[in-house]
């Protein structure tokens, strides 16, 4: 009891509500704290469990006298604000089976003495600030079922003898800075179900016998520096449901043995250097919902067998060297939410069957060789919020039923249909406000239509103005003609508008000046004419005039062209200004004369008044002469 009260007294956040039962008066005259909150005792009144998880405790772990709890079986201090280091005395808890210290602020090394806890089955130290390496003594804990140090600052290599822990079911070493290779002894962990080594600096190859881990259902090795090929033995992992190798330096082909993994729901090997064709056997993974093969060097056609994976929701094959045409069997993927084929060499028409993918929210076919017109069936995609068909060879008109894209009629409120994991891993680059950048699809307001860099012609349909929830519209580098629809100004959610490099004519609609949400606009290189509308916010979009460059018939600020009506007004103002300047000069002339006369006349008058009388005659003759001269000159000027 004294050890517990002493530890409590060191807490920073001392309040009457913090463990109120922990006091001497609460034990009914006895000295046993067995009725205190979070404490469990055995029949002999000896403390065996200390469970204080999630209480917000702020104290140092090393202030707890572990020597006083030699019979402790379970210690759970998780989800608090415990700080300090793990004391070596913890190794004296020889009966301890469960140690949970996760989600605190514990720092320092993991002590070697922790390897003395031979009864330990669960050791969870994740989400702390631990540093140093994993002590080799950990490999002595042969009863361990769960071991997690994820999200710390640990470094060094993974202990080579970790394969001794043959009872392990969960091994979480992710989000640290471990280096070196994956120990081959891991292949001995035949009871392992979850293996998380992602977000480290691991190098070398994937162990060839990784297929021995037949109990494995979640393997995560992404964001390391792994090289070499993917072992064909992965085909033995028939229980695996999630398999992620993305963001490494893997090469070679994608093993056809993946087709054996009929329980697989997620396969992510994106951002590597894999090559060859996509194996048709992937279609046998009938439980697959997420497939990401993007950012590799895959070539050849997209196998028709993919349509057999009828539960697919996220399909990303972007940034490869895929070619050929698409099969109409894509229409069978009725659950697709994201289809990203961007930056490949796929050709042919855009499938009208896409119109039957009613759950589709993101369709990106940018930078391919698609031709023909945009199928009207696209407008059937009522959940669609991102449509990117840019940089293709599309022609024809924009379907006039584009206003049927219901998801874009109003500002998006949520993204409930896209899971957090998928939103973090959907790779989507678009031209945003004139710059190619990743589009943050996880933000609820994100919506976009990009049809730029094609050969689409005709008028911009008025129906597009009904898409008031659209965030970005890019129709640049096409052959659009006619006027800019005035109701584009009704698109109250629009933040980026690019209509540059077309053949648009007529006046710029005044309604554009009321679009306060607009942060980027480009109308350059068209055939627009007339006066540029004025508006406080509108003028901030192009202080240098670049928005309007290449439209020689536009006039008004910020161009140097003066509008006709403004020119006549300017001439009238110039004449009036000249007349005013002449009048000012006349007043100045007469004022100078008058002042000179007054000063000269009266100055000399007073001087002569003091002199002899003979000067009076000469003086008045001079005055008469000057007066006559002034009169003559004034008459002449008038």
Q: Are 116 and 89 contacting, i.e. CB atoms less than 8 angstroms apart?
A: no
32-41, 90-99, 614-623, range with greatest mean pLDDT? 90-99
Q: What is the pLDDT of residues 20-52, one digit of tens each?
A: 888 876 545 555 788 899 999 998 889 999 999
Across 80-88, average pLDDT:
94
Give the range among 179-183, 431-435, 554-558 with minimum mean pLDDT. Answer: 431-435
Residue 591 has pLDDT above 70, yes or no: no
Q: What is the pLDDT of residue 30?
A: 53
Residue 621 confidence (pLDDT): 55
Predicted structure pTM score? 0.85
Q: Mind listing the pLDDT tens digit for each residue in 216-270?
A: 999 999 999 999 999 999 999 999 999 999 999 999 999 999 999 999 999 999 9
Taking Cα atoms as reference points, which of 199, 569, 47 lies closest to residue 556? 569
pLDDT at 505 over 60: yes
What pLDDT score does 26 carry? 54
Q: Does position 440 have pLDDT exceeding 90, yes or no?
A: no
| pLDDT above 90 (res 636) | no
Task: Give the pLDDT score at 22.
Answer: 85
What pLDDT was estimated at residue 536?
A: 76
Evaluate the CA torsion angle 283, 287, 293, 294 in order and state its sign.
Answer: positive
Cα first-last separation, the chain: 117
Task: Provide the pLDDT for residue 1.
Answer: 72
The contacts of residue 420 (CB under 8 Å, 6+ apart) are: 442
Q: What pLDDT, on the 0 to 100 scale, is given for residue 150?
A: 98
Mean pLDDT of the chain: 87
Residue 426, pLDDT score: 74
Q: pLDDT value at position 15?
A: 67
Residue 404 is classified by DSSP as G
The lowest-confidence range among 264-278, 454-468, 478-492, 531-545 is 531-545
pLDDT number for residue 567: 57
| Predicted confidence band of residue 589 (pLDDT cuts 50, 70, 90) | very low
Confidence band for 538, pLDDT divided at 50, 70 and 90:
confident
Instruction: Report strand pairing: 39-41 vs 47-51.
Output: antiparallel
Per-residue model confidence as pLDDT tens digits over 315-352: 999 999 999 999 999 999 999 999 999 999 999 999 99
Written in H, E and C, the secondary structure of 20-61 is CCCCHHHHCCCCCCCCCCCEEECCCCCEEEEECCCCCCCCEH
Q: Of 275-279, 319-323, 428-432, which gets the smallest average pLDDT?
A: 428-432
Among candidate residues 150, 199, 201, the one with its CA nearest the CA of residue 172: 150
Helix, strand, coil distribution of the chain in percent, nearest 5: 30, 20, 50
Higher pLDDT, 422 or 288: 288
Q: Which residue has the higher pLDDT, 129 or 623?
A: 129
Q: Is the pLDDT of residue 606 over 50?
A: no
- Identify how many contiguous H helices and E strands the chain contains and give both numbers: 5, 41
Strand partners, 266: 242, 290
Q: Alpha-carbon distance 454 to 140, whole Å?
A: 65
Given this model, what pLDDT does residue 431 score? Answer: 78
pLDDT at 425 over 90: no
Please tell me the distance from the alpha carbon of residue 361 to that of residue 358, in angstroms, as a whole number.
9
pLDDT at position 624 over 70: no
- Domains of the chain and any CATH numbers: 1-93 (3.80.10.10), 131-308 (3.80.10.10), 324-413+422-563 (3.80.10.10)
Pairing of strands 386-388, 362-364: parallel
Mean local confidence (pLDDT), 269-275: 97
Per-residue pLDDT, 592 = 43
pLDDT band, residue 605 (cuts 50/70/90): very low
Q: Where is pLDDT greater, at 120 or 418?
A: 120
């Amino acid at each position: 009891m004294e050890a517990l009260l002493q530890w409590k007294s060191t807490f920073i956040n001392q309040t009457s509500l913090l463990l109120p039962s922990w006091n001497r008066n609460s034990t009914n005259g006895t000295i046993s704290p067995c009725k205190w909150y979070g404490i469990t005792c055995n029949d002999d009144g000896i403390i065996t469990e200390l469970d204080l998880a999630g209480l917000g405790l702020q104290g140092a772990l090393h202030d707890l006298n572990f020597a006083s709890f030699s019979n402790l079986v379970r210690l759970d201090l998780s989800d608090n604000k415990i700080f300090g280091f793990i004391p070596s005395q913890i190794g004296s808890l020889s009966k301890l089976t469960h140690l949970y210290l996760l989600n605190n602020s514990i720092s320092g090394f993991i002590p070697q003495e922790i390897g003395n806890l031979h009864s330990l089955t669960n050791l969870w130290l994740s989400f702390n600030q631990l540093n140093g390496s994993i002590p080799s003594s950990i490999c002595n804990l042969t009863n361990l079922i769960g071991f997690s140090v994820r999200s710390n600052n640990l470094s060094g290599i993974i202990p080579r003898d970790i394969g001794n822990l043959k009872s392990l079911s969960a091994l979480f070493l992710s989000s640290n800075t471990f280096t070196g290779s994956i120990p081959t002894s891991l292949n001995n962990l035949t009871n392992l179900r979850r293996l998380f080594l992602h977000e480290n600096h691991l190098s070398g190859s994937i162990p060839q016998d990784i297929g021995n881990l037949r109990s494995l259902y979640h393997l995560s090795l992404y964001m390391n520096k792994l090289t070499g090929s993917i072992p064909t033995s992965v085909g033995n992992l028939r229980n695996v449901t999630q398999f992620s190798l993305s963001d490494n330096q893997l090469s070679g082909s994608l093993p056809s043995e993946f087709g054996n993994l009929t329980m697989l729901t997620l396969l992510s090997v994106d951002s590597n250097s894999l090559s060859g064709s996509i194996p048709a056997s992937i279609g046998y993974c009938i439980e697959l919902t997420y497939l990401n093969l993007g950012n590799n060097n895959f070539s050849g056609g997209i196998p028709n067998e993919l349509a057999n994976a009828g539960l697919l929701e996220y399909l990303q094959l972007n940034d490869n060297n895929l070619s050929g045409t698409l099969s109409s069997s894509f229409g069978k993927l009725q659950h697709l939410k994201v289809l990203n084929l961007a930056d490949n060499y796929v050709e042919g028409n855009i499938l009208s069957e896409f119109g039957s993918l009613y759950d589709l929210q993101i369709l990106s076919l940018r930078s391919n060789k698609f031709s023909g017109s945009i199928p009207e069936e696209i407008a059937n995609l009522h959940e669609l919020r991102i449509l990117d068909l840019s940089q293709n060879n599309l022609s024809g008109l924009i379907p006039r039923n584009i206003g049927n894209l219901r998801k874009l009629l109003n500002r998006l409120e949520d993204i409930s249909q896209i899971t957090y994991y998928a939103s973090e891993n959907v790779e989507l680059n678009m031209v945003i406000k004139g710059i190619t950048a990743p589009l943050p699809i996880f933000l609820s307001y994100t919506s976009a239509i990009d049809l730029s860099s094609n050969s689409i012609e005709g008028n911009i349909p008025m129906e597009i103005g009904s898409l008031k929830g659209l965030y970005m519209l890019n129709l640049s580098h096409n052959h659009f003609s006619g006027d800019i629809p005035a109701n584009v100004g009704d698109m109250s959610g629009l933040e980026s508008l690019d209509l540059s490099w077309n053949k648009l004519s007529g006046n710029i609609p005044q309604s554009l000046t009321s679009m306060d949400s607009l942060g980027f606009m480009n109308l350059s290189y068209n055939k627009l004419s007339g006066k540029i509308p004025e508006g406080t916010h509108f003028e901030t979009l192009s202080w240098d005039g670049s928005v309007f460059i290449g439209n020689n018939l536009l006039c008004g600020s910020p161009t140097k062209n003066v509008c006709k009506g403004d020119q006549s007004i300017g001439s009238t103002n110039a004449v009036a200004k000249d007349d005013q300047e002449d009048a000012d000069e006349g007043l100045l002339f007469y004022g100078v004369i008058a002042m000179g006369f007054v000063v000269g006349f009266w100055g000399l008058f007073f001087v002569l008044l003091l002199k002899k009388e003979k000067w009076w005659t000469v003086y008045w003759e001079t005055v008469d002469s000057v007066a006559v001269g002034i009169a003559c000159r004034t008459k002449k000027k008038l």
